[in-house]
Each structure stands twice: as C-alpha cells, then as structure tokens.
Amino acid sequence: MDARRSSSTRKPAVKCTAALEFGTTNSAAAYALAGSQDITALQFPGATNIKVPTSVVVERQAPHNAVGFGPSATECYEEDQHAIFHRFKMQLYKNSRAKTLKADVGDLELPTDLVIARCLGLLKDMVLQQIKDRNALNVSAYEVQWVLTVPAIWEESSKALMRRAAFKAGLIDTETSDRLLLALEPECAALDCHETLAADLLKRGTRYVVVDCGGGTVDTAAFEAMQPKPNVRLEAALPPRGGNWGSTRIDEKFLEFLRELLDNPPCLRANTFAVFDMLTSVWEDRKVNFDVSRLSDPDARLRINLNPVLQEMDRPPKLVDAVARYNRKHPGANLKCFGAASLKLTAAHMKTFYDEVLNDIKTHVRELLRDMGRTDYVVLVGGFGGSSFVRDAVREAASESGVQVLIPPRPWASIVMGAVRFGLSRAGSCDHPGAAAAIVMVRRSPFTYGIESSMNVASFKAHHPGVSHDGRTEWNPDSKEYDVKKLFLTFVKANDKVPIDHEVKHTVCPARDLQSSVRVNLVLCPRSNVVFSDDKDVEQHGSGSVAVKSGGKWSDKHIDVSMKFGETELMMFVHSRTTGAKERVLLNFDHTA
C-alpha cells in the first residue's frame, strides 16, 4: 500500500482551509490561512468577478485532461481537439446515479466523476497557486482542509460521487479522509450572514429561513439561532427542501424563444458552441441584472446581441424579417431590431421567461413559512437571488406572512465565504487556533432511515403486535425456525432532531454459518411509521459490506453497525466483534441504480 494512503500514516498539519463552491451556473473558491480568520476569494485569471462559469474544456483523447475552466473555456476550445462540459451539475439532481455525462459542446461522453474531478482538480491547482503567489507559501493539497459545497436537497448518492471525484482530483489521499468536508449550501450562507448582517438582526432566539437561489436549484433551510456571534450555534427548525427552480429554467425559456424566432436552426440544438457561447457571453449577465423597475416603462427594452448564434448559421435570416414574422404571430411581443445582429426585447416580454419559475418559488416560500410557524426573517442569497425579479417574488410571498426579507451585502458570495467559516469551525483548535466555532449543532432528518433486516417470527410479533407479515417468512435451517424478511430496522425517523455527534447503533449477524461477509442495505422512507423495506414508498439507498470471520456459527458473528445522521453526509461505521475491526464504510449506490 502507498505509504501516504495508509490509515496509520500521520497526517500533515493543516496550513489552510479552502472552500470550493461548485455551482450549476457559476463556481467560486476562497481560503483562509492557518491561524487567521481573514478569508480571501480566488481571483480567476481574466475574470472581474469572484464567480466564473462552471465550464470545463477537456481533451477528446484519453486521459481527457482539462485544459481550461471558467472564463478561459472559450479561449482554449478548439473544435477538433476539445469538448466542453457546461452546467452539468444539475444532472446530479435529475439523475443522482447517472454514470456518464454528455458534453454540451462536442461529441464526447465521459464518466460523471471524471468530469467533476477535472473541474475540482483545476480549482485545486488555482487555489494552491494563488496562495503561493500572494503569500510565498508552498502548500500541498494534503495540507489543506477542503470544504466542498453541495445543495442541501441532494441525495446521499450525489454526495458520495462528489467525494469520489475529490479523491480522484487529488484533494484528499483516501476517499474517507476527514480532510474533505461536504457543506450544505444554505447552511454556509447562514454562517456567513451571521458575520455580515447586523448583530441585532440574527440574535439569540431568532427564527429564519435561508432561500438560496442558484443556477440549478432553489435550496432552502430553516434555523433558530441558539447563540449569536462570535460563537454562533444554530439548530435546524425543518429538514432542508427545495426544487429545480434555478435560473437555468429561464435559459430554457430563452432558448425556446430563439428557436422560434430563428426557425429552429441546427446551431441552437444540443451540443453546439453557439448555445454555450450565447448563454455564457451574452445571456447570463442580462438575465440576472435586468432591472424589474423597467416594467413600468412601456418603451424600456433589453438589447441582446445575437451574433454568437447568427455567425454559426449557414444561411442566417435577416433579423428584421425574423422579427416581423415573430411579431405577426405574437402581436403583443413588440420586438425590435438594433442593427443587423441585435434584438430589443420589451421588459414585459422579458418577464415571460421568468413567470413560471417565479410562481414555483413563491409557492415554495409560502409553504415553507406555513410549516415554519413563527418566522422573523427570510434571508435571500445565491447568484440568482441577485435578480430583481426573484427579490420581488420572494418579498411578495414573505409579506403575506408579515415576514421581512434580508439580503446580505454580497449574496452571490455568501455560500463560498460561509463554507470557509464552516471549515474553520470544524478543523479543530490545534490546526486553527482562535477559530470561531460557527456551527449547526442540530439538523433535521429529511427521511426515516434504517437498514434492511430480518428476525424470527416470535420476535416480530413481540415488536410489531397486530402487524401482518404475510408472504415475508422464510425457513432458516441454521436456527431451525421461520424468519420474517424485508424488515425496516429504523435508525432515525423523518423530521427527527439529530445532533451532529449523535450515533445510532444496531447489531446484525450473518443469516448463514458459511457467510464470510454481511451486506448492510440502507433504506429510507418519507413516513415515520414504516415496518417493511419492500413497501412501495421505501427506497433502497445504498449498501455497505463488512467481512466476518470464517467458520463457526452464524450466531457468534455479531457486527455492530452504527450510522451518523447529524453530519452533512450520511456516515456508516462497522465494528466486528470477532475481528475487532472498526472503520468507516463507504456506501455503494451502484446496485440501486
């Protein structure tokens, strides 16, 4: 075994805490050196903002090295040599167990964890290089406490994939390393807001919800402040929730509009550079920064340069003719041209791209505040939260419950800055003397979690009086009795308060004498009163395997299985009584795909 990967090898001291906000539309990074609370944002080459497009250019030929990220993507791209992966993080929400990703530009399909690893690897290298350039300090990846942000509503399988990608990218030396922390994005925003908003707003006892509006999802979390800064302590008031109501939904509406306007040219279909260039170089800024106050001016128009699309068309139409045709079909659109390649949209027409997603966001905020009960504030963050359309929609929904909306000074930076604070609070006083412990002390379980198990009929009747086990019994030749199979052995129930250090333990053993290992199947259910693991609303949600000593009776091979549900990722540990081994087991989600 490689010495640096041995569990017995002493880890190098932490010289830095660094956070990577790997977003659907944009990404960012920030860090703080050991012994300091000063947080520095990564400045990407050629960028004026701390957030840049989540776009990676990879070589078509194996091993598919990455050659550009963010603003350098368009400069590095050569059609016959490269492919571009862009805004692909949303695929982990739509299909959390997708094994491959198709390039957005270029005919290439690669393993999902490889694409993400290429992105994380470039971000890692840029962070370490900036530390070297600005601080004259050489830091290796293994001397960093890394924090990687993920949506709070993600499934555990997606979190596991991010951890695997971080390992492949060289951030950590083992896949189970605690030098990588996964941080939930709305929690990071909450920690940052306690630092950037006035202290009298988020004081002890304040109940508030964070609405994180990003490119792919709107992620929400609810908290009660148990202790204010400098040593913030938070308790979750509800499990995290959200949906696919991010700004990419507006991109889809805009592209539908362009396809109709320009008669659906091939360059506006999937896997084209024209779509990528249009969304990143022109549309993104217009979409987020359009001022809703212009709706009151019937003459106000938004100018959009269509050159990225028109120059990719074999026979581009005259824009004036395309506009006239569209206006005849949609009399209220009132589109106009500006020169040969620019379009002028009315503010009212622009708003039609937003209407559907804004209604979804308002409905969600109303339901969130209803379930929250007493609420002092709604805190709005995220890149899409900078849109005046979104701000007005959230204010409208919150005002119906008499709740004020707070917006931090830099809502687009709250997550990455808060992620560094999260890492500092968890890195330990030895690595970061003087670090303020800002932490979520209690979380809420979004589901009922447990493992698939069995027990003899007599025990089942004692534990579940009056519950039928029809069709679920099987003769056990070793114990010489019938077992009830497919039982849901509960570890934690939906909406339970779960402290971060809470560990639930159960004992299992092989069903047969000849078994050399036991597979522990994790199951989940939205209900709290679940009994059987084969009920329709129960999901198989991964498994862990542990070896047992060969030979002997099955009844002598007891294994303690413990789960931690209060952390940002679900953790499984096993302890074999026969071998004495106790270790974290990575959950495998492949068999549930």
Kindly report the CATH number assigned to the domain that includes residue 494: 2.60.34.10
- pLDDT score recorded for residue 592: 45
**For residue 295, what pLDDT band results from cuts at 50, 70 and 90?**
low
Query: Based on the domain organization, do 206 and 254 belong to the same domain?
Result: no
Kindly state the percentage of the chain with pLDDT values over 90: 49
Query: Based on the domain organization, do 565 and 482 belong to the same domain?
Result: yes
Identify the domain boundary among 308, 332, 352: 352
Cα–Cα distance for residue pair 55/403, rounded to 1 Å: 38
Q: What are phi and psi of 148, to 5 degrees?
A: -120, 125
User: What's the structural domain count of the chain?
Assistant: 4
- pLDDT score recorded for residue 91: 77
- pLDDT score recorded for residue 434: 41
- pLDDT score recorded for residue 4: 36
Mean pLDDT (whole number) for 168-186: 94
Cα–Cα distance for residue pair 165/464, rounded to 1 Å: 43
Helix (H, G, I), strand (E, B) or coil at 124: helix
- pLDDT score recorded for residue 7: 41
Query: Based on the domain organization, do 575 and 463 belong to the same domain?
Result: yes
Q: What are phi and psi of 220, to 5 degrees?
A: -125, 150
Token reading at 479: 């114990």
Query: Based on the domain organization, do 110 and 154 belong to the same domain?
Result: yes
In a domain, 80, yes or no: yes
Cα–Cα distance for residue pair 477/459, rounded to 1 Å: 17
- Bridge partners of 377? 208, 404
Query: Based on the domain organization, do 240 and 383 belong to the same domain?
Result: yes
Q: Is there a contact between 532 and 525 (Cβ–Cβ < 8 Å)?
A: no
With a cut of 50, say whether residue 593 has pLDDT above it: no
- Structure confidence by residue, pLDDT tens digits, 69-81: 887 777 888 888 9
Query: Based on the domain organization, do 272 and 346 belong to the same domain?
Result: yes
- pLDDT score recorded for residue 8: 42
Mean per-residue pLDDT of the chain:
86
In a domain, 438, yes or no: no
In a domain, 325, yes or no: yes
Query: Based on the domain organization, do 567 and 542 belong to the same domain?
Result: yes
Closest CA to 180 of 153, 141, 131, 221: 141
- Structure confidence by residue, pLDDT tens digits, 118-165: 999 999 999 999 999 999 999 999 999 999 999 999 988 899 999 999
In a domain, 439, yes or no: no
Helix (H, G, I), strand (E, B) or coil at 509: coil
- pLDDT score recorded for residue 504: 86
Identify the domain boundary among 386, 403, 432: 432
Query: Based on the domain organization, do 179 and 196 belong to the same domain?
Result: no
Mean pLDDT (whole number) for 44-56: 86
Q: Is there a contact between 310 and 298 (Cβ–Cβ < 8 Å)?
A: no
Q: Is there a contact between 232 and 239 (Cβ–Cβ < 8 Å)?
A: no
Cα–Cα distance for residue pair 397/381, rounded to 1 Å: 16
Q: How far is CA 438 from the centre of its chain?
A: 21
- Structure confidence by residue, pLDDT tens digits, 311-321: 888 888 899 99
Cα–Cα distance for residue pair 475/236, rounded to 1 Å: 45
Mean pLDDT (whole number) for 479-491: 88
- Structure confidence by residue, pLDDT tens digits, 79-116: 889 999 988 887 777 666 778 998 888 889 999 999 99
Identify the domain boundary among 405, 432, 459: 432
- Structure confidence by residue, pLDDT tens digits, 502-515: 888 877 777 666 67
In a domain, 570, yes or no: yes
Cα–Cα distance for residue pair 188/196, rounded to 1 Å: 12
Q: What are the respective helix, strand and coil percentages of the chain, to the nearest 5?
A: 30, 30, 40
**For residue 2, what pLDDT band results from cuts at 50, 70 and 90?**
very low
Beta pairing class for 144-150 and 180-184: parallel
- Structure confidence by residue, pLDDT tens digits, 384-419: 998 889 999 999 999 999 999 999 999 999 999 999
Within 10 angstroms of residue 142's Cβ, the number of other Cβ atoms is 17
In a domain, 61, yes or no: yes
Cα–Cα distance for residue pair 559/579, rounded to 1 Å: 10
First to last CA, the chain: 31
**For residue 253, what pLDDT band results from cuts at 50, 70 and 90?**
very high
- pLDDT score recorded for residue 438: 54
Range of the domain at 274: 248-352
Kindly report the CATH number assigned to the domain that includes residue 118: 3.30.420.40
DSSP state string for 362-386: HHHHHHHHHHH-S--EEEEESSGGG
Mean pLDDT (whole number) for 353-377: 96
Cα–Cα distance for residue pair 493/72, rounded to 1 Å: 47
Beta pairing class for 301-305 and 342-346: antiparallel
- Structure confidence by residue, pLDDT tens digits, 526-553: 999 999 999 999 998 888 777 766 666 6
Lowest mean pLDDT among 71-75, 236-240, 368-372, 476-480: 71-75
- pLDDT score recorded for residue 554: 61
Which residues 6+ apart lie within 8 Å of 548 measured at CB?
A: 510, 515, 516, 517, 518, 557, 559, 576, 578, 579
In a domain, 377, yes or no: yes
- pLDDT score recorded for residue 555: 63
- pLDDT score recorded for residue 118: 94
Which residues 6+ apart lie within 8 Å of 209 measured at CB?
A: 220, 221, 222, 223, 365, 368, 369, 372, 375, 377, 378, 379
Cα–Cα distance for residue pair 563/542, rounded to 1 Å: 13
Query: Based on the domain organization, do 240 and 337 belong to the same domain?
Result: no
In a domain, 205, yes or no: yes
Helix (H, G, I), strand (E, B) or coil at 243: strand
- Structure confidence by residue, pLDDT tens digits, 339-361: 889 999 988 888 899 999 999 99
Q: Is there a contact between 313 and 262 (Cβ–Cβ < 8 Å)?
A: yes
Query: Based on the domain organization, do 366 and 400 belong to the same domain?
Result: yes
Query: Based on the domain organization, do 233 and 268 belong to the same domain?
Result: no
Query: Based on the domain organization, do 73 and 106 belong to the same domain?
Result: yes
